[in-house]
Amino acid sequence: MKFWIGVTNNNWFDFLSQRQPDEVNFWQPGGTTFKALQPGELFLFKLHSPLNYIVGGGYFVRHSTLPISLVWNAFGEKNGAEDFQSFRARIIMLRRQINKDEIDPMIGCNILANPFFFKKEDWIPVSTEWWSPNIVQGKTFGTDNSIGLSVWAEVQQRIARTSERKLDVTENVSEETPLYGSEYLISARLGQGAFRVLVTDTYNRRCSITGERTLPVLDAAHIKPYSESGPHKIDNGLLLRTDLHKLFDLGYMTITPEFRVEVSRRIKEEFENGREYYALQGNQLILPANQIYRPSREYIEWHNQVKYKT
């Protein structure tokens, strides 16, 4: 079992521990890539010195480099800040190469599902025998050695003590699916922010209908809306240009089980317009390379039957 202990901003931890969100964004002010974990593995929080303690953690979902406007729209306060201005100011302050005129700087995002925050009496001391004060970002550990196994056991005990349940990665996935990797992303209980980022990256940051790549005008759309019991799952998502997202949600557009675009005649009847949209009729969707992330027939048929205006 592999896990990561990341050095955590103390204010970030305090802010989020008071709110107990269903997901968090452990962001990095620069765009440094994070490759230490696979989806579903454990990411633990260690406070800055002199508070040398492990104080919580979450399940790693995905690392992505994104503009801060999209990050704020996806996660809001789950970024550990009360508003966008505070969030942006903190990033600018921490960046090594400061450019205050940069409109929408890119940052690294480590998205964590089902975070947990220990009470102060349950914080786990970090020993100088296995943690160097020179570690700035974090360090990987594993249960294949005595140190990693000991830390893992301590975390299990704290989880059991504070929430009366064991730390068990299978809790985030169905019992019959693998625990890590792409399968985790299918079955994990994701939040709204993770859904947005995963759909955006899965479709290679381009509209699944038009191929548009201008990120600010692209939305992660649910096929079956979350408000109508649609899950935050990649196969219930499409990346759509903003205007197409609105038409899709209102039922003026849908997709077929063969992944083709279907445009309702009601656009012309109700608005006496729509030439641009009718030009998309019958077009093949631009689909994820990995078939397991492609739109589910179940959600497509629901949209066809319930939402689409015939």
Instruction: Report CA-CA distances (Å) from 80 to 10, 99, 184, 193.
Output: 10, 22, 25, 13
Residue with token string 């299978």? 170
In the chain (310 residues long), the average pLDDT of successive 10-residue segments reads 94 96 94 89 95 95 95 97 95 75 87 94 94 92 94 89 52 46 78 97 98 97 96 97 98 98 97 95 96 96 97
Q: What tokens appear for 112 in the block?
A: 């964590």
Q: Looking at residue 97, what is its pLDDT?
A: 64
Helix, coil or strand: residue 150? helix
Q: What is the pLDDT of residue 160?
A: 80
Output the pLDDT for position 33: 87
What is the rounded CA–CA span in Å between residue 67 and residue 120?
A: 34
Q: What is the pLDDT of residue 94?
A: 85
Query: Can you count the helices (H) and strands (E) in the chain?
Result: 10, 11
Tell me the pTM. 0.90
